[in-house]
Each structure stands twice: as C-alpha cells, then as structure tokens.
C-alpha cells in the first residue's frame, strides 16, 4: 500500500516537473520578429498588424524592411509603444516600408537595453484598396532583403554594437485577408438589394446612420471604387425597382 503511494507521488512530481519545463515561464525564446496573426478586413478598410519581438538577449534596436502589394495595400501609419527614444520610417517606395528604431537616443536620457523575452513593439496600419477584387483574396506583408543595400535590412542591434541577423533571427511574415463584399447588402444582414438596404442607405446619406467598414464595402453598388456615394444609392434603387 505505502509502496504504491510512493510510486504515485514520484509519478505526480515527474508530471509536474515536465509541465513546468513546458510552461511559458520556461519556454526557450528565440531571436525573432513577427507580424502577428492574419488580419481579416474589407475593401476600403484598414489592416492593422503588430510587431512582436522575441529575444533571449538584451536588445537596443530593431531594423525592418517590409514589402507588400502596392495595388492592394498602401501605407497609412506606424505607432510604436513607448519602448524607444528614436524611430524613423521610410515609405517613399510604393509597397515598401523601412522601420529603424533605437532604444536610446544620444540627445536624451539614457535608457537601458530591452530585457530578454517577448514583447509587442507597436503597430502598422495599411489602407486597403476599395476596388472590386472579384473574390476573397489573401495578400502577404513580408520581410524583404534589398540586394541594393550594403547591410542586412532585417536585424536586431545589441548594446555592444553587433547585430543579430537571419538565419539566427527568425522572421514571420504577416497576411491580410480581404473579404469580397456582398454588394447591395448595405445594412449587412445577409440579404442584398432589399427595401431595408435602401432605407438604411438613405439614413446614412441623410446623416442619421453610420456605416461599418463591411457596410461601406457593400455599399459600392456600381463597383467604381467610390463607396457609399449618391450614384451607388441610385443604382441600388434601380436594381430594387427592377426586381
């Protein structure tokens, strides 16, 4: 009886130790930059991706060069959490965004390096085209290495002046899934070209109703890329009258 209890205690301790080793607190952190999980959005809306840094060492800076389809996505804004004193962004090339951030700025109060671990650094907002894409479409926001630059474009800076670069630095791309609109379903109830859609659209034009990004995408009834316009409303009424 006591022997079985002893075996059971040893087994339980072994399981707890194994669980402890597998817990987040004991997980091995690799050098990595991730653009987070996939984003779902609508034509004419915005896609928000976030930068996640993972590092087993102290870091003083992050350099990134991102690439995306300029016909589907355009740069809107970058916002970093208060982790750095210096940041610069270059989006002069369509479909490219260069981000350079440093923990400490020489002209400011000294900040110690970021400690090891996993941390969200900030966010990037991208505008989504309002043009009709004909179907659901997924596009990638990826890390890009420019062969025309004399240095590695995606890297982490250490306090001793050295850099962590791929393949030691793991880069995880992001994705944006653009849903095809249900044109004519202005109130987004799943039914297109109804009297309820016309009333909802009229109330929007009269200023008493707001549109969600999905409703705005559905409102481009004439599919000219200009959403929620008077010509869209006229086309909606015309289709309803002909049915």
pTM of the full structure: 0.84
Per DSSP bridges, beta strands 170-172 and 32-34 are: parallel
Residue 65 has pLDDT above 60, yes or no: yes
**Statement to judge: residues 13 and 61 lie in one domain:** no
Identify whether residues 90 and 145 lie together within a single domain: yes
pLDDT score of 107 = 73
Mean pLDDT in residue range 39-62: 96
DSSP code at position 37: S
pLDDT of 195 strictly over 50:
yes
Residues 73 and 125 occupy one common structural domain = yes
Are 236 and 181 in contact by the 8 Å Cβ rule? The answer is no
Give 12-43 pLDDT, tens digit per residue: 434 444 444 444 444 578 999 999 989 999 99
Q: Do 87 and 202 reside in the same domain of the chain?
A: no
- Residue 87, pLDDT > 80, answer yes
Q: Are residues 48 and 61 in the same domain?
A: yes
Averaged pLDDT for residues 109-115: 87
Question: How many domains does the structure of the chain reveal?
Answer: 3
Mean per-residue pLDDT of the chain: 90
| Residue 152, burial from CB neighbour count under 10 angstroms (0-12, 13-18, 19+) | middle
Where in the sequence is the domain holding 214, given as residue range(s)? 195-242
Same domain, 95 and 165: yes
Instruction: Identify whether 184 is part of a domain.
Output: no
pLDDT (0 to 100) of residue 155: 98
Check which CATH number belongs to the domain holding 59 and give it.
2.60.40.680
Neighbouring residues of 159: CB distance < 8 A, sequence distance ≥ 6 = 58, 60, 113
* Residue 120 belongs to a domain: yes
> Is residue 45 one of the residues assigned to a domain?
yes
Q: Would you say residue 134 has pLDDT above 90? A: yes
- Do residues 111 and 128 share a domain? yes
What is the pLDDT averaged over residues 93-98?
Answer: 97
Interaxial angle between packed helices 230-242 and 195-205, expressed in degrees from 0 to 180 and rounded to the nearest 10: 160
Residue 134 lies in a domain: yes
In a domain, 210, yes or no: yes
Same domain membership, residue 232 and residue 121: no
């Amino acid at each position: 009886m006591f022997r079985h209890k002893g075996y059971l205690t040893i087994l339980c301790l072994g399981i707890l130790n194994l669980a402890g080793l597998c817990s987040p607190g004991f997980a091995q952190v690799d050098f990595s930059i991730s653009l987070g999980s996939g984003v779902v959005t609508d034509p004419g809306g915005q896609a928000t991706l976030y930068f996640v840094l993972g590092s087993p060492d102290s870091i003083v800076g992050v350099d990134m060069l991102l690439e995306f389809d300029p016909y589907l996505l355009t740069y809107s804004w970058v916002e970093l959490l208060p982790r750095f004193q210096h940041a610069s962004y270059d989006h002069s090339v369509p479909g490219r965004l260069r981000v350079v951030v440093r923990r400490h700025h020489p002209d400011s109060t000294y900040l110690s390096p970021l400690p090891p671990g996993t941390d969200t650094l900030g966010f990037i907002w991208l505008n989504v085209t309002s043009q009709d894409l004909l179907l659901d479409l997924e596009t990638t926001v990826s890390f890009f290495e420019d062969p025309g630059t004399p240095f590695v474009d995606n890297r982490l800076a250490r306090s001793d002046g050295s850099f962590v670069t791929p393949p030691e630095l793991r880069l995880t791309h992001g994705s944006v899934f653009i849903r095809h609109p249900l044109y004519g379903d202005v109130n987004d109830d799943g039914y297109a070209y109804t009297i309820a859609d016309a009333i909802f659209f009229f109330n929007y034009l009269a200023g008493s109703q707001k549109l969600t990004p999905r409703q705005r995408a559905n409102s481009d009834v004439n599919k000219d890329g200009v959403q929620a316009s008077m010509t869209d409303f006229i086309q909606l009424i015309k289709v309803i009258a002909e049915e």
